[in-house]
Amino acid sequence: MKKNDWILIIAVLAAALIFLGIHFMRPSQGDAMAVVTIDGGTFGSWPLSKDHTVEIGDGNRLVIKDGKADMVWADCPDKLCVNQKAISREGESIICLPNKVVVSIVGGEEGEVDSVT
Amino acid sequence: MWAERKGKWIRLHDGSFLTETRTGGIYFGIMAGGIYLRHRAAYFGVFTALALIFSYLETLIPFSFGIPGIKLGLANLLTVILLYKRNAREALLLSVVRIVLSGFLFGNLWSILYSLAGGLMSMLVMVFLKRTGKFSIMGVSAAGGVSHNMGQLLVAMAVVETYRVGYYFPVLLIAGLATGLLIGIAANEVFQRVRHI
């Protein structure tokens, strides 16, 4: 390995760390939405800026509070989704496999979800 | 493979002599009483076959790094070897031929498109870095891995029409660096162990 190889490797690692840093330092967006889908179909979406409790079908309860969405209750035995941390950043999601419920955060721009799906 | 040229004869590393005649673009060599075919196409064919086998191997044993969409890209080992042992043109040709063939065999049109974007991008960067002469094969290959992932990400962004790549961008950077470096180290080991490629 030459000296330039190490410089290259360190430069790429530094770039990756900077981008990771930007991603995690960025404050959660106020206009972000929590999009809920059941078995692939859209159940609804709620803005993170407003505190709200969403009953997702009979099996899950989602609480939106302080700009974060958190699954607080589920009827499934493993409670994996309940144990997940509250989500607030673009692209994060909470998934409840037994009930096929997916909660994901979307940037809030109109038509964003449809253009992707 | 050649060691020394003496007029029409070529002395090989093991001391045997060899001569070749050209007939319609195909070289026939005469060595130790036998006739063998020495043509670029045959050499290239072996590399293509090996690259395809490596692609196939990877579909059997996913060298997964725990992140979806990340793989080692073992077939690129042959591209790197060809880049150093022959030239950029043949390495690029192998890359494109291998991507199209393995795409039809194990993938689909989309996987060909993504692979081509990555393959062309990494060839461009690797050829440039190799020409500068400032990097070893490990560094060149690592840069190739990173640019491969960047090329794929660019196409993915164009297809999905989004600029929100989020945390996937740094993940791809590091994954490309790691896989490229591994391929470079492997190529370096091959050159040290197998002298006559």
Do B71 and B145 share a domain, yes or no?
yes
User: Confidence class of residue B136 from pLDDT cuts 50, 70 and 90?
Assistant: very high
**Range ranked top by mean pLDDT from A95-99, A110-114, B186-190:** B186-190
Burial of B25 (0-12, 13-18, 19+ CB in 10 A): exposed
- Give the distance from residue B159's alpha carbon to the nearest chain A alpha carbon, in angstroms: 10
- Give the distance from residue A58's alpha carbon to the nearest chain B alpha carbon, in angstroms: 32
Do B58 and B144 share a domain, yes or no?
yes
Do B70 and B145 share a domain, yes or no?
yes
* A105 touches B167 (CB < 8 A): no
- Give A107's contacts in chain B (Cβ within 8 Å): 164
Do B15 and B76 share a domain, yes or no?
no
Domain range summary for chain A, segments of one domain joined by +: 33-116
Q: Tell me the per-residue pLDDT of A57-94, one tens digit each, with 9 for 90 and over.
A: 888 888 988 888 888 888 888 787 888 888 887 778 88
Do B97 and B61 share a domain, yes or no?
yes
Nearest to B166 among A17, A91, A115 (CB): A91
> Mean pLDDT score of chain A, rounded to an integer?
80
Q: Tell me the per-residue pLDDT of B60-102, one tens digit each, with 9 for 90 and over.
A: 876 666 666 678 889 999 999 999 988 888 899 999 999 999 9
Which backbone phi and psi does A58 adopt, to 5 degrees?
-105, -10
pLDDT of residue B16: 60
pLDDT of residue B15: 58
- Please give the DSSP secondary-structure letter assigned to residue B138: H
Do B76 and B27 share a domain, yes or no?
no
> Mean pLDDT score of chain B, rounded to an integer?
81
pLDDT of residue A113: 42
Closest residue in B to A112 (Cα) is: B162
To the nearest whole percent, how much of chain A has pLDDT over 90?
Answer: 11
Instruction: Say yes or no to pLDDT of A10 above 90.
Output: yes
Q: Which residues contact B111 (CB under 8 A, 6 or more apart)?
A: B103
**Between residues B74 and B43, the one the model is more confident about:** B74
Flag whether residue A25 sits within 8 Å of chain B, measured between CB atoms: no
Mean pLDDT, range B15-40, rounded to an integer: 53
**Between residues B10 and B170, the one the model is more confident about:** B170
Which residues in chain B belong to E strands, given as ranges? 2-6, 9-12, 17-23, 26-31, 34-38
- Give B180's contacts in chain A (Cβ within 8 Å): none
ipTM: 0.71
Instruction: Say yes or no to pLDDT of B23 above 70.
Output: no
Instruction: Say yes or no to pLDDT of B56 above 70.
Output: yes
Residue-number span of the structural domain to which B139 is assigned: 43-193
Do B31 and B54 share a domain, yes or no?
no
Alpha-carbon distance B113 to B105, whole Å? Answer: 14
Do B112 and B189 share a domain, yes or no?
yes
- Cα–Cα distances (Å) from B171 to A17, A40, B45, B76, B153, in that order, read 9, 27, 35, 20, 11
Closest residue in A to B176 (Cα) is: A12
CB pairs < 8 Å spanning A and B: 58
CB–CB contact A5 B166 (8 Å): no
Instruction: Say yes or no to pLDDT of B41 above 80.
Output: no
pLDDT of residue A59: 83
- Give B164's contacts in chain A (Cβ within 8 Å): 90-91, 107
Instruction: Say yes or no to pLDDT of B26 above 70.
Output: no
Do B150 and B114 share a domain, yes or no?
yes
Do B34 and B47 share a domain, yes or no?
no
Fold adopted by A33-116? mini-chromosome maintenance (MCM) complex, domain 2 (2.60.320)
CB–CB contact A8 B135 (8 Å): yes
Number of domains chain B contains: 2
Do B60 and B6 share a domain, yes or no?
no
Place of tokens 């081509």: B116
Q: Which two tokens stand for residue A2?
A: 């030459």
Mean pLDDT, range B36-62, rounded to an integer: 80
**Between residues B68 and A46, the one the model is more confident about:** A46
Instruction: Say yes or no to pLDDT of A31 above 90.
Output: no
- Give B136's contacts in chain A (Cβ within 8 Å): 1-2, 5
pLDDT of residue B20: 61
Alpha-carbon distance B92 to A10, whole Å? Answer: 28
Written as one letter, the residue type at B24 is: G
Q: Which residues contact A84 (CB under 8 A, 6 or more apart)?
A: A71, A94
Do B26 and B66 share a domain, yes or no?
no
